[in-house]
Amino acid sequence: MAITRSALPLGSVGLVVAGLALQEVGASFAVLLFPAVGALGVVSLRLGFSALILLAISRPTVRGYTRASWATVVAFGIAIAAMNFLFYEALDRIPLGAAVTIEVLGPLAVSVFTSRKRSRWVWAVIALAGVALLGQGSFGHLDPLGVVFAAGAGATWAGYILLSARTGQHFPRFDGLAIAMSIGALVTLPFGITLTGPALFEPQILLLGAAVALLSSTLPYAFELLALRRLPASTFAILMSLAPAIATLAGLVILDQRFTVVGAVAIGLVIVASIGAVRSARPQPPTEPLAV
């Protein structure tokens, strides 16, 4: 069976938004695992289960690729591992909404430096104002080390955006994502097992880890990979401005992490910026069918 990418039910923009929602709900569940296995243990579970799921679904081949293709997918896998490690270390120290607010500065930087339209600067500035406002007094005192980890996650997130798009160009369907996720898992699992010990393999921990992997990695990354084959990197990056709003709401509902009226105003700003980015996006020409 074959369908065109333009016929996907949610569309490229819908895929990005759905992926963000799932990712932040999964991050909220991950926080509940920190007391048992720590941040690195959660990263190991998330990437390990995500790799297994994607390998089973895509069954990627490892033959017929160039050195450039392998260099891209290896770099993508390392970026996934680094981004997850830094983000969960931040999440272990500061609220979910604050961590994502700081992290999203990375994608915003991508939107500024890759954009060719002057209007993108307007939406980027509005989104940046919202991100800055969301971090001002909305979550109380923030651990400085947590802020550093969140900023590092933002830098690696910017690399993830660019490398994900390139991986989608080199590898068909989800093959590149499956290989990259496996590389990320191989990088983190030895550390997670060594530092966490037997607790990592308790049945309830494994079950929760599998749920976090599905919500936070497998589905969101697959949605984003599909979207990045149609959306410009700059448009995708500004859409990431929705992340602080979604993360703050997830933290409020699931983790009871409160924020102020200032936070609500900031959420409105990032939503306005995201809508503006979508409206100003240049229509993409029809693309080849996507086999499913």
Q: What is the per-residue pLDDT across 21-36, written as a single tens digit (0 to 9) for each?
A: 898 888 888 888 999 8
CB atoms within 10 A of CB 82: 21
The predicted-structure confidence for 88-114, as pLDDT tens digits, reads as follows 999 988 888 888 888 877 777 776 776
Separate counts of helices (H) and strands (E) for the chain = 13, 2
Whether 144 shows a pLDDT value over 70: the answer reads yes
Whether 45 shows a pLDDT value over 90: the answer reads yes
Q: How do the residues of the chain divide into helix, strand and coil, expressed in percent and rounded to 5?
A: 80, 0, 20
Q: What is the pLDDT of residue 8?
A: 43
* DSSP-derived pairing of the beta strands 289-291 and 2-4: antiparallel
Residue with tokens 């996650």: 153
The share of the chain scoring above pLDDT 90, in percent, equals 23
Range in 9-13, 42-46, 49-53, 142-146 with the lowest mean pLDDT: 9-13
pTM score: 0.77
With 0-12 CB in 10 A as exposed, 13-18 as middle and 19+ as buried, what is 261? Answer: exposed
Q: For residue 149, what are the contacts with CB-CB under 8 A and spacing of at least 6?
A: 86, 87, 89, 90, 93
Whether 3 shows a pLDDT value over 80: the answer reads no
Rounded Cα distance between 257 and 267, Å, is 15
Range in 46-60, 182-196, 221-235 with the lowest mean pLDDT: 221-235
Q: 290 by DSSP, 3-state: which?
A: strand
CA end-to-end distance (rounded Å), the chain: 6
Q: 59 by DSSP, 3-state: which?
A: coil
Q: Which of 9-18, 87-96, 134-143, 235-244 is most confident? A: 87-96
| Amino acid identity at 215 | L
Structure token digits, residue 123: 């939406």
Angle of CA points 249, 255, 261, to nearest 5°: 40
Whether 9 shows a pLDDT value over 60: the answer reads no
Q: What is the pLDDT of residue 159?
A: 85
Angle of CA points 47, 52, 58, to nearest 5°: 115
Q: Does an H or E element contain 1, and which?
A: none
